[in-house]
Every structure is written in C-alpha cells, then in structure tokens.
Amino acid sequence: MINWEEFNSVYQPYGNELIIEIINMLDGDKAENPPAPSYEERMEMLKRRIDELDFKEIQWNLSSIRGLIRNFYDPVANAASNRLKEMGYSETSVGLSEEFEKFKIAADKLVIELREYRKTLTA
C-alpha cells in the first residue's frame, strides 16, 4: 500500500499531469520505438529469467520493474524488491521463486492501487 503522505509531499507540487504520466509508465510507453514493455510484460520477463536462473537477466529485468515501482513509496513492494534484488546479485536460487511470488503479489497490489488512483485524477 502506498505511503500517501510521502507520495503526496513529493508529487503534489508538480500537479496531477505528472502523476498521471508516471503512472502511465507502468502500462508501457507506446511512443518509444520500440515501445516500452508494460508492467505485466516486465513481470513475465522477470519470471521467465527466474525460471531459467539467468541471474544477469534477473538483475536487468528486476531493475526495470524496480525503477517503476520505487517511485510510489510502497514499503511492502520496495522491501520485497530489495530481497529479490539481493538474491539475484548473490545468485541465490534457493527460495528465489517464492520470493518472486511475494514480490509479485505486493507489486500487483501497488499497480492496482495506482490504476485506481489514476482514474480519480482523470475523472
């Protein structure tokens, strides 16, 4: 769950347009060439790399997702991403899939919360 006090103290001075733009980044930037992957596509890529135990790509894919979700001050999702990051860097395979599932649950909740918040900003 987002720490709204911290979130608002950082983003409200910039206005709703910036907040909406940042949330939209979760859905992929279709203006890029090639288009940036969506949150779901990024998660699928990360899961695939974890299943393959491709630690270099795990680090790359996780960094891509973490760059998006860290902007939203969700302590649960951030802590889960930090644990997964440490496992990736230390190339620890034991418990890696389970840690990914914990991270995915937290990140999915965050994304749902953000998409709902975006609706209130665009209404």
Q: Which tens digits make up the pLDDT trace of 21-32? A: 888 888 876 666
> Which pLDDT does position 95 carry in this prediction?
95
Q: Per-domain residue ranges for the chain?
A: 39-122
Residues in the chain where the model's pLDDT stays below 70 = 29-33
CA pair distance 87, 76, nearest whole angstrom: 17
* Average of per-residue pLDDT values in the chain: 90
Tokens encoding 22: 């940042």
> Which pLDDT does position 19 carry in this prediction?
87
> Which pLDDT does position 31 carry in this prediction?
63
> Which pLDDT does position 29 carry in this prediction?
67
**Burial code of 3-12, b = ≥16 C-beta within 10 A, e = fewer?**
eeeebeeebe
